[in-house]
Chains A and B, each alone.
Chain A
Amino acid sequence: MRNEVVSIAQPSVEKIPVCAGSDAQVRLRLSDISKDFAGVSALSQVSVTFFAGEVHAVLGENGAGKSTLMNIIAGALRPDQGTITFEGETVGQMSPEVAASLGIAICYQHPNLLDDLSVLENLQVALPRRLFAGKPAEATARSILANVGLDIPLSERGDKLTIAQKQLLEVAKALAVRPKVLILDEPTASLDQDATELLFRRVHEAVEAGTSIIYITHRMAEVRQIAHRVTVLRDGRVRGGGTVDEVSDADLLAMIVGRTLGSTFPPKSARAAGAVCLDVRALRGTRFRDVSFEAASGTILGVAGVSGNGQSELMRALAGLEPFDGEIALNGRKVGRQELLRRAAFMPADRHAEGIAGSLSVRENAAAGALGRMGTLGVMSRRRELGMIDEIFDVLAVKAPGLESTIVALSGGNQQKVVMARALLSGPELIIADEPTQGVDVGARSEIYRILRKAADDGTAVIVNSSDAAELEGLCDKVIVLSRGRVVETLAGDDITETRIVGAAVGALTHFHETDQAAWKLSGGSRWRRMLEADNAPAIPLILVTILLALLGVSYNPHYLSAFNVSNVLQLTTTLGFIALGQTVAMLLGGIDLSVGPLSGFLVVVASFFINTGHPAGMFAAGFLLIVVGAATVGLVNGGLIRFANFTPIAATLAMYIGLQGASFLLRGGPGGYIDAGVVSALSVQIGPIPIAFLVMCVFAVGSEYLLRRSRLGWRLRAVGSDEFASRRIGLRVDRIFILGYLASALFTALGAIMLMAQIGVGDPQQGVSYTLESITAVVLGGTSLRGGRGTFIGTAIGALLLMEVLNVVSFLGMSQTWQYVFQGMLVLSSALIYATARGRGGRGSKLA
């Protein structure tokens, strides 16, 4: 990724004159909005009015409350107090659905794009149906994309797009619904200049059409370029604003900075800077480039900038967690990633995800970095462990109810202190603190500053990334400011002031320059590659293997393709196929259904009480009805346990597995209840050697595949399996889709059970169980990913056929049962490895974007 400092071109489009205040139409009014998060005020008494046909910029530092405000307007959060008025009418309770129906569209900074769906499917799943009515979907989609100048193949998968392309797609989605209010959250953060100008033209067009645009940004230049009105937030309060023409840059900067910190800083390093501890030369990584700086021992170096400009990635590279090009020298010696991992201590910004092990105790967390030093010959010394922890806790003033309480019981500040204690105990040569005071109460902040300063005084270099400029002003001996991945300013000594830092960050005119990267990303963008990467691509090699195996069978024994043997294999495939289709649904959702095997057995046992010779037709109907009802109940219970009782899919369906097995034995102690021969033969009718039921199974597989690719239901299923969080944000009812998925899994199993009934002809509590593992095997063979979002029903059906064929060939060739197992095992492992390798590469590629 390359970015360039460009001289700013004056907006190529004329700004529309501001409507005279009084007679302009008020589109949206927020009055006295307040919102608390766990006692911390994020917004207080915020009142803003947004007019139709205007761009209203909302400015403020990180944590000023901009995102909270935006989420309240979009209905993603509920305000504690205050009212929202839309076109003169008070909105009782804003929700994403209400917001959408009012015509409020939001464009998040982190695009809500589903990686496993194609561009077209992403548009179709997120946009209302009416947009696609009357015209071919492709034509509609193309015009939506052309509107923002995006030229990408519609069948391209989401994870192949660059961040800029994703962001433009997000804007395109928002514009497509012709919203009355459009919220843009830092839409230009990763756009190059051309794309930015195009975006601004679209914004102007939308404004001319009467849309009210809420434009969230950190960049004053952009405010000047497109906004009519501006509001500045700081500490969750409105600090000022007005029409853009009336406020000067200096006024705006004064409103942005000057956060009340309420915490004190330790005195800065008095010593002359020591030897260079960390020397970084021309470092380049995922979102930064050409970064060079030196950090001396005994000093604190700050990394500043608007968040999302490459700072976190730089910190991670310095900690050895992300790959980088360029040179890093630690205490005079060039080091690689492994060494950085070992010698640098990293304090991550996302404490819960990467900093602490939430289920472990305070002691275990604190000791984690220095376990080697707390033991003798690999055996822990409790005395030494407690001694070292007590000592460091005294120094850091950690307040914990006890060393054995879980760490999540501590306040954010104390959790962070434990992370620091762990870092210090490991005896690092370099400390890297990413947003060290994020989520920490004001009181604990000064103590964290004191600890960082003390660590520096003890001789290590400390690198602190913070989006809070005031904090860096108070804490650091030297500050580098990053904008779009480049160092735009280096400040030292008295030059380190909040105003200078923020000025450098918001005044920078750098753009990400992504065109070369985009070209690289799509260079292999041929139709062929996309076909090879399609979800149902495994079908072709699988069919080839199936045919080869059949030829092998025939060459050894001509009877292999006899009508009897073929129909036998296909009968068995039908049963497994139906059950495996159900398993595919669960796996598309990223889950698993272990209960399918015992469920099929249980349903046969149930049926064996009704569908017997001599019973009236009504009893038969009751039997089939019970099969369906029983399966539906089981599916709903599975889904309910997973979504509402917090069970993992494995746990829920395992409990169901054992329970169903028991229920089968409860109903029948052993085999009994012969199924009516008429029903059995009706289910086994054949055309030539091919059972009709097998054809029905194929129709189901193809039909499900069609629904999966072409229907709203299918897109939703894959969307939820791909990314639950993003699906929720585009307004999908995630819980309902999950439960429907497990219901579908159970209903497919019911079809399988009907075939199983014909196959064994008797109610036997011991039958069916093995279908759980076999169905998983068939699905894996078919090429469905266990991570969810990607899969194919057709592949599953072929996988089932291949599995049954392998078992059959082995016995037909007179090989021992050993080979049945060996072939089966090799098939599963090799196919899993092949699919993982094929997909792994694509996945890694997108991570680099």
Chain B
Amino acid sequence: MVCATAVLFVVCFVFAPSSVATGALAGSLPFAAILAIVGLGQMLVVQQGGFDLSVAGGVSLAVVIATHLPAGHDSALLPAVVAAFVCTALAGACNGLMVGFLRLNAIVATIGTNALLYGAIFAISGGVPEATTNLLAAIATDSVFGLENTVWFALLILLLVLFVVKKTVIGRRFELIGANPLAARAMGLKVRRHQAMAYVFAQLLYCVAGILLAGITAQPTAYQGDSLLLPSVAVVVLAGTSLLGGRGYPVSTVIAALFLNQLSQFALAVGVPYSAQTIIQALALGFGIAVYSLRWPARPLQINKSKDPEERDELVAS
């Protein structure tokens, strides 16, 4: 991933210098940062063999709460941010409860939650955009050492995720459970609880992304999160996290977000239409998956053993 990104930047430098000019980079990096944060959230869920379709709802809800509740007043920003965290955490808990404890299929559960989130979004916003408060815009877009705060936030969150997943007892158990829930169960670990937590933390990350997105966009719409769903999965897969669960790659996920973002910038600079960009993204995604699935061939079928995910679920659940 690092190599691919480096190559891309070199290619950009040679063929489309305007896409790596300071101005273009500064303009697009915050969007890459937001994709990175959302991607990290999706990564947590994918690590548990899940799939979170409520990305769009979570991000959009944070956006509308952060803009509609204060309605332009800086003083109301803090309560709004707190409200956004509470609401998304509830949504995550709903996902986690249904997937982790009630063993619903992750896709179905998160589709349902996403619809409920959109209900909330409309209840709050009525579907119309609202201007960002000045304070939030300042928090998100002020620059420190030449980089906008949003980028710093993303880096901070990367470090946080990295620390929790790789350096703490909880994180290590989390990865182990994702890699093989049956083995984790046989060791006496609390499989369901960890699987459920993945959805809660993912929603909290979407919330951060949503608030920052509200900050960097002057008049964010109520659907601001929609366009993040597929890229969030794409960056996780490109970073090498298996859709079957297991080890997560936070750094690569962030780099993949940078990569996808730069790919669009490059395409834009050389005048490729939007359509071709998405095709390139699809090819990159397909190529990425192909490389990883060749590296980790699916486990051969176990004869006479728990034959399918259903039984695995039941074993874990029992």
Q: Mark B95-118, 1 if CB is under 8 A from A, else 0.
A: 000100011110111011111111
- B180: nearest chain-A partner, CB-CB: A357
- Cβ 8 A contact of B119, one of A371, A776, A825: A825
Chain A residues with CB under 8 A of B121: 821
The answer to whether B275 touches A669, judged by C-beta atoms less than 8 angstroms apart, is yes
Q: Quick check: is A6 within 8 A (CB to CB) of the other chain?
A: no
One digit per residue, 1 when the CB lies within 8 angstroms of any chain A CB and 0 when it does not, for chain B 284-318 equals: 01100110011011110111111111100010001
A422 to B308, CA, bound (A): 27
| CA A741 to CA B120, docked complex, whole Å | 38
Contact call A669/B273, Cβ cutoff below 8 A: yes
Residues of chain B lying within 8 A (CB to CB) of residue A667: 275
Tell yes or no: B153 within 8 A of A by CB.
Answer: no
Contact yes or no, B276 A353, CB < 8 A: no
B32-52 contacts to A (CB < 8 Å): 51
Q: Please indicate the chain B residues that have their CB under 8 angstroms from the CB of A531 in the complex.
A: none
Q: Is the interface of B mostly helix, strand, loop or mixed?
A: helix
Interface residue? B134 (CB, 8 A): no
Kindly state the separation between the CA atoms of A648 and B113 in the bound complex, as whole angstroms.
24
B123 interfacial contact with A, CB 8 Å: yes
Cβ contact within 8 Å between B275 and A818? no
Please give the number of chain B residues whose Cβ is less than 8 angstroms from any Cβ of chain A in the complex: 84
- The reply to whether B289 and A647 contact each other, CB–CB distance below 8 Å, is yes
Closest to A339 in B: B188
Q: Flag if B179 contacts A832 (CB, 8 Å).
A: no
Q: Does A765 contact B (CB under 8 A)?
A: yes
Number of A-B contacts (CB under 8 A): 235
Say how far A656's CB is from chain B's closest CB, in angstroms.
7
Q: How far is the CB of B177 from chain A (nearest CB, A)?
A: 9
Interface size class of A (residues with CB under 8 A): 35 or more
Known: A359-B246, A380-B172. A666 touches B279 (CB 8 A): yes
Which of B185, B278, B309 has a CB less than 8 Å from the CB of A659? B278
Say whether A723 faces chain B, with CB atoms less than 8 Å apart: yes
Pairwise interchain contact B309-A787, C-beta atoms closer than 8 A? yes
Q: Determine which of B170, B186, B230, B301 lies in contact with A346 in the assembled complex, contact meaning CB atoms within 8 Å.
A: B186
Chain B residues whose CB sits within 8 angstroms of the CB of A323 once the complex forms: 318
**B299, A352: Cβ atoms closer than 8 Å:** yes
Q: Is B182 an interface residue (CB 8 A)?
A: yes
B69 within 8 A of A: no
CB-based nearest B residue for A667 = B275
Q: Is there an interface contact between B282 and A664, defined as CB atoms closer than 8 Å?
A: no
Q: How far is the CB of B229 from chain A (nearest CB, A)?
A: 10
- Is A379 touching B167 in the complex (CB atoms < 8 A)? yes
A662 and B304 within 8 A (CB): no
A771 to B286 CA separation, bound complex (whole angstroms): 22
In the complex, whether B281 has a CB less than 8 A from a CB of chain A is yes
Given contact pairs A360-B179, A364-B176, A651-B243, A348 touches B186 in the complex (Cβ within 8 A): yes
The answer to whether A350 touches B302, judged by C-beta atoms less than 8 angstroms apart, is yes
B285 partner, pick from A380, A655, A825, A843, beta carbons under 8 A: A655
Q: Which residues of A contact B309 (CB under 8 A)?
A: 787
Q: Does A663 lie at the interface of the complex (its beta carbon under 8 Å from any beta carbon of B)? A: yes
| A658-B108 contact, Cβ under 8 Å, with A358-B299, A379-B169, A380-B172 | no
CA distance A817 to B302 in the complex (A): 49
Measured in the bound complex, the distance between the Cα atoms of B186 and A283 in whole Å is 20
The complex places the Cα of A663 from the Cα of B119 at a distance, in Å, of: 32
Q: How far is the CB of A198 from chain B (nearest CB, A)?
A: 26
Answer yes or no: A369 CB below 8 A from chain B CBs.
yes
Given A357-B180, A592-B107, are A341 and B102 neighbors across the interface (CB < 8 Å)? no
CA distance A820 to B115 in the complex (A): 9
* Interface membership of A812, Cβ < 8 A: no
Inter-chain contacts of A656 with B (CB < 8 A): 282
B235 at the interface (CB under 8 A from A): no
* Contact present for A379 and B298 (CB under 8 Å): no
- CB pair B286 A843 closer than 8 Å: no
Chain B proximity of A534: nearest CB distance (Å): 19
The answer, yes or no, to whether B27 is at the interface (CB within 8 Å) is: no
**Residue A840 CB within 8 A of the other chain:** yes
Within the complex, the shortest CB–CB distance from A315 to chain B, in Å, comes to 11
Taking the closest CB of chain A, its distance from the CB of B61, in whole angstroms, is 11
Residues 217-235 (chain B) with a chain A CB within 8 angstroms: 230, 233-234
- Pick from B102, B115, B176, B286: contact of A833, CB below 8 A: B102
Chain A residues contacting B103 (CB-CB under 8 Å) are 836, 840
CB 8 Å contact bits of A637-679 with B (1 = contact, 0 = none): 0000100011110111011111101111111010000000000
Residues of B within 8 A of A647 (CB): 289-290, 293
Min CB–CB distance A405 → chain B (angstroms): 14
| A359/B186 in contact, CB under 8 A | no
Residue with the greatest number of chain A CB neighbours at <10 A, chosen from B51, B104, B186, B277: B186
A830's nearest neighbour on chain B, judged by CB, is B112
Q: Which residues of A contact B167 (CB under 8 A)?
A: 379-380
Q: Is the CB of A825 within 8 A of B105?
A: no
Contact A828 B111 (CB under 8 A): yes
**In this assembly, does B144 line the interface, its C-beta being within 8 Å of a C-beta of chain A?**
no
Residues of chain B in range 252-272 having any CB-CB distance to chain A below 8 Å = none
Q: Tell me which of A110, A364, A780, A817 contacts B108 (CB under 8 A).
A: A780
Q: Which chain A residue has the least Cβ–Cβ distance from B113? A: A825
A662→B51 CA distance, assembly (Å): 23
Say how far B185's CB is from chain A's closest CB, in angstroms.
Answer: 7
Give min CB distance, B58 to chain A, whole Å. 14
- Asked whether any CB of chain B lies closer than 8 Å to the CB of A400, the reply is no
**Any chain B CB within 8 A of the CB of A616?**
no
Residues of A within 8 A of B234 (CB): 654, 658
A702 nearest CB across to chain B (Å) = 25
| A342 contacts the other chain (CB 8 A) | yes
Answer whether residue B4 sits at the interface, using C-beta atoms and an 8 A cutoff: no
Interface residues in A75-129 by Cβ distance below 8 A to B read 110
Of A353, A359, A364, A832, which is within 8 A of B105 by CB? A832
Q: Which of A379, A723, A826 contacts B168 (CB 8 A)?
A: A379
Interface residues of A in 492-528 (CB under 8 A from B): none
With A and B bound together, what is the CA distance between A729 and B318 in angstroms?
A: 29
Do residues B183 and A651 form an inter-chain contact, with CB atoms below 8 A? no
| CB under 8 Å from chain B, chain A span 291-347 | 319-323, 341-342, 346
Per the bound structure, the CA–CA distance linking A287 and B115 in Å amounts to 45
**CB of A274, distance to nearest CB on chain B (Å):** 25
Complex: A666 Cα to B282 Cα, angstroms: 13
A836 to B109, CA, bound (A): 12
- Whether A662 and B281, one on each chain, are in contact in the complex, defined by CB atoms closer than 8 angstroms, is yes
A319–B315 Cα gap in the complex (Å)?
14
Query: What are the residues of chain A within 8 A of B104 when measuring CB–CB?
Result: 829, 832-833, 836
Task: Assess the B176–A342 pair: CB atoms within 8 A.
Answer: no
Q: Which residues of A contact B278 (CB under 8 A)?
A: 658-659, 661-662, 665
Residues on B with C-beta less than 8 A from A359 are: 179, 242, 246-247, 296
Contact indicator A364/B107 (Cβ below 8 Å): no
Interface centre among A354, A380, A664 (most CB of B within 10 A): A354
A-B contact pairs, 16 of them (CB 8 A): A323-B318, A356-B180, A368-B184, A371-B172, A654-B233, A655-B289, A659-B283, A666-B273, A725-B307, A817-B122, A817-B127, A818-B120, A824-B115, A832-B112, A833-B104, A847-B318
Q: Hey, which bits of chain A sit against chain B, CB under 8 A?
A: 110, 319-323, 341-342, 346, 348, 350, 352-360, 364, 367-369, 371-372, 374-375, 378-380, 422, 426, 590, 592, 641, 645-648, 650-652, 654-659, 661-667, 669, 723-726, 765, 773, 776-777, 780, 786-787, 816-822, 824-826, 828-829, 832-833, 836, 840, 843-844, 847
Chain B contact residues, CB within 8 Å of chain A: 51, 53, 98, 102-105, 107-109, 111-123, 126-127, 167-170, 172-173, 175-176, 179-180, 182-188, 230, 233-234, 237, 242-244, 246-247, 273-283, 285-286, 289-290, 293-294, 296-299, 301-310, 314, 318
For the complex with contacts A378-B170, A725-B301, A826-B112, 16 further pairs of A-B residues with Cβ separation under 8 Å are A319-B186, A354-B186, A360-B176, A364-B175, A368-B187, A658-B230, A658-B282, A665-B274, A725-B303, A816-B122, A821-B122, A824-B115, A825-B114, A825-B117, A829-B108, A844-B314
Q: Which 5 A-B pairs have the closest CB atoms?
A: A665-B275, A825-B115, A662-B278, A659-B282, A662-B279
